[in-house]
Amino acid sequence: MEPTTSENLCNKLHYLTRLLMMQLNEEIKPHGVTHGQLPVLCCLSEHGGQTQAELCEQIQVEQPTMANTLRRMERDGLIYRRVSAQDKRQSQIFLTESTGPTVSALQEKRDEVLARMTRHMTAEELATFHRLLDIAKQALENSDEDHAKKI
């Protein structure tokens, strides 16, 4: 029996995500980092001193997920926390001195994997791909808000 269009799209998106994450993990594994840690490192590289809540918002993950990720990263010596001068109840998160230079290499590996994924797309197709992903993401975000209002 043929899968429905919806099943097929869901399967393709799931498989694409799995392939992307597997290849990304393989590329960055020699640096002792996982694909879940990479966005945190990139955010902190651009703007060190962010709080956990700010990182959650930028990376779009839940607080418990971020807390676990940061705990592992701190244990592994990738980041450190410092009490905020403005609000003693909050900690600001920074890259360790040894982690900073690694972030550029990790970003290059990420970009290589993405380039492999999109190498057969024209510039126009790539722009359309981005636009369609943004539309789909926005539709689901809006449906979450609409659903929450109904509850």
pLDDT score, position 7: 78
Q: How does DSSP assign 44-73, residue by residue? A: HHHS-SB-HHHHHHHHT--HHHHHHHHHHH
> In this structure, what CATH number is given to the domain that contains residue 57?
1.10.10.10
Query: Rounded distance, CA 25 to CA 2, Å?
Result: 33
Measured in whole angstroms, the distance separating CA 99 from the mean position of its chain's CA atoms is 18
pTM of the model: 0.79
Task: Name which of 30, 16, 52, 37 is nearest 136 in CA terms.
Answer: 16
Phi and psi dihedrals of 48, rounded to 5?
-70, 160
pLDDT tens, position by position, 7-22: 799 999 999 999 999 9
Residue 151 lies in a domain: no
Q: Structural domain of residue 126, as residue ranges?
A: 5-144
| Percent of the chain with pLDDT strictly greater than 70 | 92
| Number of domain units in the chain | 1
